[in-house]
Amino acid sequence: MAKNRNLENNTGMIEEKVKKQLIESGSKLIVGIDEVGRGPVAGPVTVCAVLIKQGAYKDFQESVICEKLRDSKKLSEKRREEWFERIKEWQKEGMLDFAFFNLGAGAIDKFGIVSAIQKCLNKCLEKLEAPTDSIILLDGGLSAPDKFLNQESFIKGDANHPIIALASIVAKVNRDNYMKEKANEYPEYGLETHKGYGTKKHMEAIEKYGLSNFHRKSFLRRFI
């Protein structure tokens, strides 16, 4: 049975635990996974998985730049974009690889948000061709398929573990950019500002203009 325990701990203890796992498992690959867009009433949910070699991740954890990554959700949009450019450079250099996958409002209404997230997560692992003996580190209540026997789920994982933070950044930057593009198609809703979340102005726009195909109707039943 796959290991999947929610852990809330300080960063040092988490990283020591992972280092011990690396030694004991002999795995040469680590995968960090996070999702963005669970709560909005419009737009897709996005999951990203970042795969990194064991040696490269150890070097990254010990680097000065890693200290600047803590709590990726508190990074400004500009900083996230800068980090994403750096991550793409690392991908080109072969230090790491990443994959992200989106499912839109129609799929979320059809399958439910939990199943939609799981489908995205599974697709990311397939795209990366992650070996089943990889160490899989996930944010919150996420879980990988049972064939990945060495997996852990961390409460506030993006704040406590660098590789999950990297996945969070990739997912958020790509979803936010997609929402900005969709704002041109649906200018009346202000998507470029709230990114699909149920803000007061967004809900007022829905009251005025009704639901679009981009909205999650299962989240907005009172408007149907």
Domain ranges in the chain are: 6-223
Specify the pLDDT at position 179: 97
The fold of the 6-223 domain, in CATH, is Nucleotidyltransferase; domain 5 (3.30.420)
**DSSP category for residue 215:** B
Helix, coil or strand: residue 79:
helix
pLDDT at res. 24: 57
Phi, psi of 107 (to 5 degrees): -70, -40
Lookup result for tokens 């800068």: 82
Supply φ then ψ for residue 25, to 5 degrees.
Answer: -85, -25
Q: Which residues of the chain have pLDDT under 50?
A: 1-14, 22-23
**Residue 32 confidence (pLDDT):** 97
**Which residues does residue 34 pair with via DSSP β-bridges, in sequence order?**
48
pLDDT of residue 57: 86
- The per-residue b/e assignment along 85-102, b for 16 or more CB within 10 angstroms, e otherwise, is eebeebeeeebbbbbbbb
pLDDT value for 7? 33
b/e 5-40 (16+ beta carbons within 10 angstroms → b): eeeeeeeeebbeebeebbeeeebebbbbbbbbbeeb
Closest to 54 in 3D by CA, of 9, 100, 19? 19
Q: Are 31 and 54 in contact (CB under 8 A)?
A: no
Supply the pLDDT for residue 71: 62
The pLDDT value recorded for residue 112 is 98
Check if the beta carbon of residue 185 is closer than 8 Å to that of residue 157: no
Q: Kind of pairing, strands 135-139 and 6-7?
A: unpaired
Cβ proximity of 56 and 65 under 8 Å: no
What was the pLDDT predicted at 54?
80
The pLDDT of residue 62 is 83
